[in-house]
Amino acid sequence: MPVSLDKLLVVGISSRALFDLEAEEAIFRNQGLDAYRRHQIANENEILKLGAGFALVRALLKLNALTPERRFVEVVVMSRNSSETSMRIFNSIEHYGLDITRAVLSGGASLAPYLQAFNVSLFLSLHEDDVQAAVNSGVASALLYQKPENVLQELDQIRIAFDGDAVIFSDESERIFQQQGIEAFERHERENALKPLPEGPFARLLKALSFIQNNFKNADGRAAPIRTALVTARSSPAHERVIRTLRAWDVAIDETFFMGGVAKSDVLQAFKPHMFFDDQPGHCDRARALVPTGRVPIITQT
């Protein structure tokens, strides 16, 4: 009987996001595919350094080791490499002891069509076209920035931080702010305070993490080794709709920060997330030097 991934949190990650392949990417761009192929084959026993998404993937996979009776997370490497040039990736996965057994090797083709086939809940990549296509197809996806220097420090918990509008929630309210200004935004949020915000691209991921947290607590009373944070530019009076929306979704976020326009960087540095997801390039640019950061593109399909 076929294995089902339907009840798992499935993370699809590109090989360039999992490992540091920037030198190889430069060879491909400057010298072409044949030079890249020769380089990868000649160096297939050279272990790759860690990439921007490695810390998050390693942390998530630890959930399975903590619950041998049940598997929560599956990671699928999704690469534009061909099978011919992929041995270095698999050798590096084995070297670091990552429990990753599934892969998509598209030979240069777009990866987006294969996300649904593997029931991917979160897709991480450094290839902007793939990330945009994934978001357009309804999959939570982020374009990762290169990792900061402290990314490899070990933490006892999986820590993930989210922006609110256009990430956990839809961009409906944010568009009002951008087009009509702060007064119109606050008036809209007061008038709709009792109406839950529409789901954004990362709502499904947040709900999946909340489900895992609850299952850990129900299993043996232990607190789940996951901690989530909402770090939003909202402030009073726009806070009420957020709180009521999460309550309606039956989702409890561990830490919430209503920043009111104050820079998020210091809070993020204190929280120490394995990944921070935000849609605003300015917020991401300030955060990327301090914490692993992924930018969530706006959906562009009509």
Give catalytic residue positions: 163
- Helices within the chain (DSSP H only): 15-18, 22-31, 33-42, 54-66, 87-95, 128-136, 172-180, 182-191, 203-220, 239-249, 265-271, 281-287
CB 57 within 8 A of CB 18: yes
The residue count of the chain comes to 302
105: enclosing H helix or E strand: strand 102-105
The structure tokens 């429990």 sit at 99
CB 203 within 8 A of CB 168: yes
How far CA 19 is from CA of 130, 213, 258, in Å, comes to 17, 28, 34
Query: Strand 140-144 to strand 293-295: parallel, antiparallel, or no bridges (unpaired)?
Result: antiparallel
